[in-house]
Every structure is written in structure tokens, then in C-alpha cells.
Amino acid sequence: MTEPTLIFHNPRCSKSRQTLALLQERGIEPEIIRYLDTPPSEQELTVLLRQLGLAARALLRKGEAAYKELGLDDQTLPEQTLIGAMVKAPILIERPIVIHNNRAVLGRPPEQVLDLF
């Protein structure tokens, strides 16, 4: 049995909406995780980063007010601190993220998620 396809989605984000539409146009109906409403735990985010093959800093939205407020531009902060900040302020998590068969891709650009299929 294959795992369901998941999308970490923010309906207010155009890239997130474009990625979801792209999947649906191809007959893929992902399970939608509205991560701002139900943020991932530290453990889930750690697994997600491993699936993406990214360090936590690469998944941070540096333009968000919370990024400056929390002092996340400090390059000496450890990975766990950055992950903890994203759990507490999920707006900091870059989106959309699509997960399929234990692999994940950031939908920037949206077409990038097609590499999973």
C-alpha cells in the first residue's frame, strides 16, 4: 500500500494554491495539511527536513516579521533552535511542501513537486 500524498498548504499563498492545482490537474488528490492551523511537532519537522534534504535554515521564510523578532538571522543558532522557532511560529516554514512515498519537495517553483511522481 502506498502512503498518501501530503501537502503542507497555506491557502493564502499563491505558490501553495498553484502547487495544489497542479497536483489536482494530474489527478493527484493530496491530503491537505493546513500547517498554520496544525503545525508539525519538532520530531515531525526534523523528519520533514530529512525528507527534503535541507538544513532548517534553508526552510526558513526570512521575510517574515517573526524571523527578525526571534533573532533568527544569527548564523550561530543551532539546528534545534531553528526547528523550535518554526514549530512555535509556523508562518516561518517555507511552503508548499509536498510529501510522497517518504520523499518531500518544496514547491518553489510549483512544477518542482512533479519530480516526486
C-alpha atoms less than 13 angstroms from C-alpha of 18 in its C-beta half-sphere: 13
Q: Is 114 helix (H, G, I), strand (E, B) or coil?
A: helix
* CA separation for the pair 50, 99 (Å, rounded): 12
C-alpha atoms less than 13 angstroms from C-alpha of 100 in its C-beta half-sphere: 15
Question: Does the active-site annotation cover 13?
Answer: yes
**Per annotation, catalytic residue among 6, 13, 66, 116:** 13
The burial of 29, by beta-carbon neighbours within 10 Å (0-12 exposed, 13-18 middle, 19 or more buried), is given as exposed
Do residues 51 and 103 make contact, with C-beta atoms less than 8 angstroms apart? yes
Name the residues annotated as catalytic: 13
